[in-house]
Structure 1
Amino acid sequence: MESNKINYVELPAKNLALNKAFFEKAFGWSFQDFGEEYTAFENAGLDGGFFQADFASRPKNGAALVVLYCSDIEQALARVQECGGVIEQEIFEFPGGRRFHFLDPCGNEWAVWSEPA
């Protein structure tokens, strides 16, 4: 393990089971539970977890934005919607690529990006 590198991220979830089901289906993540109020995610590119909380992580409230990469952004957007995510910002271009923002079932905001079309 490297010193001085981001190693783990934790996010709130009002309903752990609902968020686990969403990320398993939408992105293929797996989970390991640690009691009833915490679950760690795996196969997500960066290790982390969800903790039981009655609030959500949103950049407009000062939280960091977690950005996922997907080579097929249209497919990712469709999968997010099919699995119960809410599109917060449709696909848009930015210097370096394209991305969209979505809310997971617990209200946390995420983004997905890909290379330019």
Structure 2
Amino acid sequence: MAKHHSINYLELPARDLEATKGFFSAVFGWQFQDYGPNYSCFLDAGIDGGFFRAEADFNTQRGSPLLVIYSADLEATEASVVAKGGEIVKPVFSFPGGRRFHFTDPSGNEFAVWSE
């Protein structure tokens, strides 16, 4: 059940919806439910949400929020991101509490992956 006043759903743009779905499925194991040709809901991703077909993308240089994904094995996840067509835009670096890297997906959106 949804919690009152909590962040409940996240919608993200995707220039190439099929490639984006394939990437997140292959790298992170996300499942998808399509709702027509221009929208797909992601499942088992830690938050409910979906990708909608759009010519836009997001990144932190333009002031967009950063979506951060957790990994128990940062190096293996980084290798998978690269192998499946993601681009590393900030190599692994340390921060208080852990380490992370930033990448762009096939639609050009910037995400980060962190680990303790």
Quickly name the TM-score band, shorter chain normalised. over 0.9
Q: Give deviations 1:24-67, integer Å, cap 9, x for gaps.
A: 00000000011111100001011110011001011111211100
1:14 equivalent in alignment to 2:15: yes
Q: Which amino acid aligns with 2:101?
A: F
- TM-score normalised to structure 1 length: 0.96
Q: Equivalent residue of 2:42, what SS?
A: strand
Q: Which runs of 5+ in 1 are unaligned?
A: none
The within-5 A match list for 1:1-117 is 1-115=2-116
Query: Which 4+ residue blocks in structure 1 deviate beyond 2 angstroms?
Result: none
Normalising by structure 2, we get a TM-score of 0.97
Q: Deviations over 1:54-94 (max 9, x none)?
A: 01011111211100000110001001001110000110000
Partners in 2 of 1:52 and 1:66 — Cα distance?
18
- The aligned amino acid for 1:62 is G
Instruction: Give aligned-pair identity as a percent.
Output: 51
Structure 2 gaps of 5+ residues are none
What amino acid does structure 2 have at the position aligned with 1:69?
Y
- The Cα RMSD (Å) is 0.6
Aligned length in residues: 115
